[in-house]
Amino acid sequence: MNESNGSMELYLRAHTEEIINNWLSKIYENEKAYTSFVYSPRYKDELRADSEQTADLIISYFTGKNAFFEKLDKWLDNMYARRMENEVPLPEVITTLDKLRREFVTAVSDFCIENDEVSKYDFFSSMAMVNHGFDRINEAFSAMYYNDIVKHLEQQHLLIEEISTPVISITDKLAILPLMGRVDRERAEKLSEITASKCVKFGVEQLCIDLSGITYFDDALGEMLNNLVTVLRLLGVEAFISGIQPKMAQQINRVDLNLSIQAYHSLKAVLQDQTRTI
């Protein structure tokens, strides 16, 4: 660390309380602009503690990049966990960090104005350190936020797929898979995979695939049914279908699909037949 950086670090540490007070006043004068309660004056002490940790992190940049990055991970562990726990929107996090950035920029400018011996190079170097520090914080925080959002969306997608493939147990041996809407090739692949897995999990011996809620029968759905029936047969599960209406029967005929599977007009017919069998 050179002499200029050392002097700047000492100055910023000596003026940290002033920097934070100025930052807090800017936060509270625009309180209505924030949706998260963490920026409410009643949580001022917690917010001050967070800003002190952020200020210490930024100032450590003047000691050296290694010192900064060593503290960055600890800062992220604490700050990210608190912001996510309290569901603080990312734009509000970035906005408040940028307000703190401005206070640091002002402090660096004040130091350079008060000290005539500070060169233009030292001034621009100090400004760059402050901005680089805040940029690294924003990048690291945003990356973690993005990864969590992607993970959350993936979990939601899996949940939707799970819900959209409801294998419903009717008896100890019989279950029903009611299909709804239109089945494209991507959905067909997931349907086959999840259905087979659920049949094994629930110990299903017979599965009725009900098509009453299907809006259109095409090649994708036909291939899915053939593949699913084949897979289920290999797993020891007998499959049959129900709910084929006249229009759907014509569509099946048009796609030239040979469904080698027992078919029923309705779920009622399935249950009546299976009850007689039992």
**pLDDT tens readout for residues 53-64:** 999 999 999 988
Beta strands in 82-234 (DSSP E): 168-169, 174-181, 206-214
Q: Is 144 or 189 the better-scoring residue by pLDDT?
A: 144
- Which of 80-84, 157-161, 233-237, 269-273 has the lowest average pLDDT? 157-161
What's the rounded Cα separation, in Å, for the pair 262 and 249? 14
Question: What ranges do the domains of the chain cover?
Answer: 3-160, 168-275
Answer yes or no: is pLDDT of 257 > 70.
no
Confidence at 21, pLDDT banded by 50, 70, 90: very high
Within 13 Å and on the Cβ side, how many CA atoms surround 8?
33
Q: Is 1 or 105 the better-scoring residue by pLDDT?
A: 105
Write down the pLDDT at residue 215: 74
Write down the pLDDT at residue 22: 94
What's the rounded Cα separation, in Å, for the pair 131 and 38? 25
Write down the pLDDT at residue 158: 67
Q: In which residue are the tokens 């099946």 written? A: 252
What's the rounded Cα separation, in Å, for the pair 21 and 19? 6
Q: Across residues 154-182, what is the average pLDDT?
A: 78
From residue 100, give the alpha-carbon distance in Å to each of 33, 186, 211.
16, 47, 59
Structure confidence by residue, pLDDT tens digits, 98-121: 999 999 999 999 999 998 888 889
From residue 132, give the alpha-carbon distance in Å to each of 60, 61, 62, 201.
12, 9, 11, 53
Full-prediction pTM beyond 0.75?
no
Task: Specify whether domain 168-275 bears CATH 3.30.750.24.
Answer: yes
Write down the pLDDT at residue 3: 67
Confidence at 267, pLDDT banded by 50, 70, 90: confident
What's the rounded Cα separation, in Å, for the pair 244 and 265? 6
Q: Domain 3-160 adopts which CATH fold?
A: Globin-like (1.10.490)
Answer yes or no: is pLDDT of 38 > 70.
yes
Q: Across residues 9-23, what is the average pLDDT?
A: 94
Closest CA to 181 of 149, 210, 206, 214: 214
What's the rounded Cα separation, in Å, for the pair 113 and 126? 13
Structure confidence by residue, pLDDT tens digits, 129-138: 999 999 999 9
pLDDT averaged over every residue in the chain = 85
Answer yes or no: is pLDDT of 78 > 80.
yes
Answer yes or no: is pLDDT of 44 > 80.
yes
Answer yes or no: is pLDDT of 250 > 80.
no
Answer yes or no: is pLDDT of 252 > 80.
no
Write down the pLDDT at residue 100: 95
Strands of the sheet containing 206-214, edge to edge, are 168-169, 174-181, 206-214, 238-242, 262-264
CA angle 151, 180, 229 (to 5 degrees): 90
